[in-house]
Structures are given as structure tokens and as C-alpha cells.
Amino acid sequence: MNRGFVIMAQNTTSVDYVKCAEQLSNSINKVMPDANVTIITDKLLPYGDLAVDSDWKLINDWQVYEASPYEYTIKLEADMLIPRNIDYWWDILKEHDLIVSGTVRDYTNGISNIKSYRQFIINNNLPDVYNAITYFKKSDKAEQFYKIVRNIFENWNEFKSNLTCETSEIATTDWAYSIACHIMGVENTTLPNFSEFSFIHMKQFINNLMIDDWTKELLFEFNPSLKVNTIVQEYPFHYHVKSFSNIIGEHYGK
């Protein structure tokens, strides 16, 4: 089975996403030594960097479909780490053409229903999905999905005019994926009964924190795997606070 993890990584003026991606790759290989991992940097984008003069690189995300060298792909955001083996995911995902994660967890590993960051989705009655973990198989359906995502990014003002949002609303990858899931049908793009296909999201309100930077409020250690407030992290860990990548580097390689 030709399968692997793909990480989109384009540096900005403030974040070294390539370094984050390398650390994520190291974390994958530590718990799944035989896993294939490909990091997609600027030079590997099939259509080049479409945001060469901007730090807003999300517009390039749709290129992941063609950029992936695998028949079966799990796309991950760069500022994550994988704390344990998730090979079993493939057995379930391989039966589908495309699945976008619809479940997030807090650091206790429990499913979170906090919607503080999802007002755009709520206002427009869109599927509550997260692009941070997306699976796709090289197929007509997955190709169609990414063509729609491309169209949304390239024609955002037109899409936005038919949505409930501020005129200043910016196209994010989550918004684009949510609209694309709506267009293609949630039955074709999500898998609600597979809640294991999820990740821990370290944003403030999801974790009932006082401040945005969780590293200053919660205790954490690698002993040997990541623990937060003594709790072993059991799911892909979206650390959100980019400075945490420096700490990860000490444990998963620089």
C-alpha cells in the first residue's frame, strides 16, 4: 500500500514552518519507524508559490493533492507532533476517497465541543471540519475536492458575498475546506463514526485556559512521550504556540 504523511511547510517572516515540519516528521518516525513522510516546501509546489509576496500561504494548500507522492495520504499541519502510533487509521481510511477531520480534543484527550473559534461555520450552517488532519486517496472525488478548495481561495470575494460574514473576512483553510465539504456533501467528506481521526488542539478556550499561551499556564514534560499536567497525550498534538517548536526540537531532533 503506497501511503504516507504529507506536511505543507512554507516559512513566513515570523515562523519557521519547515523546522516545525521536520520536527513533526521526526516525531512520526519515532513512533512509526516504517512510515513515509514528505515535507512540501516552496520548491515542491507543483504550481509554485502563489503567495510569493505575502505571509498568507494558505492559498497554496490545494496543491497538496498533486504534490503528494502517495496513493493514500494523510495531510498534517506543520505545527503538530504525533505522540503515538496511529497506523491503525489506515485500515479504516483506505476505504474512502477523502475524509476531513471533524473532531478536536483538549489536553485531557477528551472531545471538545467548544465553538468559540467557529462562528463563521455556525453563522453559515457549514460542516464543522478541521483541515489540520485530512486524508485523501488519489481519486476523482479527492481531485474534485481540491479543485473546489482552489476555486474558493481564488474567488473568495465572490464566495464571501453569498455568506454571512464581515466584508473583511479572510479565507482560511478551515473555511475553504468547510465550504468544499458542504458542496460535495458531508457524507462524502467526513466520517463522524470514526472519532479517533482527531487531534488535540491547544487553543486557549478549547482547554479552558486563562491565557493564549498554554506553555505558560500548564506543566509539560517529555517522559518519554509528551505529558501535559501529567496527562499523556494520546492523539496528534496541535501545539498552536509556535515557540513550543523550540522545545520539541530538543526531544525529536533539530
The dihedral sign for the CA sequence 63, 69, 74, 75: negative
pLDDT at 1 over 70: no
Pick the residue with more confidence: 254 or 15?
A: 15
> What CA–CA distance (Å, rounded) separates 149 from 158?
14
pTM beyond 0.75: the answer is yes
Whether 253 shows a pLDDT value over 80: the answer reads: no
Taking 70 as the threshold, does the pLDDT of residue 254 lie above it?
Answer: no
85-128 pLDDT, tens per residue?
A: 999 999 999 999 999 999 999 999 999 999 999 999 999 999 99
pLDDT of residue 85: 97
pLDDT recorded at residue 251: 80
Mean predicted confidence (pLDDT) in 152-159: 97
Query: Which cell goes with 65?
Result: 493533492
So what's the pLDDT on residue 53?
83
> How large is the average pLDDT for residues 218-243?
95
The residue-averaged pLDDT of 145-158 equals 97
Q: Which residues contact 177 (CB under 8 A, 6 or more apart)?
A: 100, 129, 130, 131, 134, 149
User: What distance separates the 2 farthest-apart alpha carbons in the chain?
Assistant: 50
- CA dihedral of residues 235, 238, 243, 249 (deg, nearest 10): 40
Tell whether the model's pLDDT for residue 252 goes beyond 90. Answer: no
| 3-class secondary structure, 206 | helix
What is the per-residue pLDDT across 15-64, written as a single tens digit (0 to 9) for each? 999 999 999 999 999 999 999 999 999 999 999 999 988 888 999 999 99
The topology under which CATH files domain 3-203+235-252 is Spore Coat Polysaccharide Biosynthesis Protein SpsA; Chain A (3.90.550)
pLDDT at 131: 98
Per-residue confidence (pLDDT) for residue 86, from 0 to 100:
98
d(CA 81, CA 147): 28
Q: Are strands 226-228 and 220-222 parallel, antiparallel or unpaired?
A: antiparallel
Of all residues in the chain, the percent with pLDDT exceeding 70 is 99
pLDDT digits (tens, 9 = 90+) for 159-191: 999 999 999 999 999 999 999 999 999 999 999
At residue 223, the pLDDT reads 86
The pLDDT of residue 178: 98
**Burial of residue 36 (number of CB atoms within 10 Å: 0-12, 13-18, 19+):** middle
Query: What's residue 52's pLDDT?
Result: 87
Q: How far apart are CA 125 and CA 117, in angstroms?
A: 14
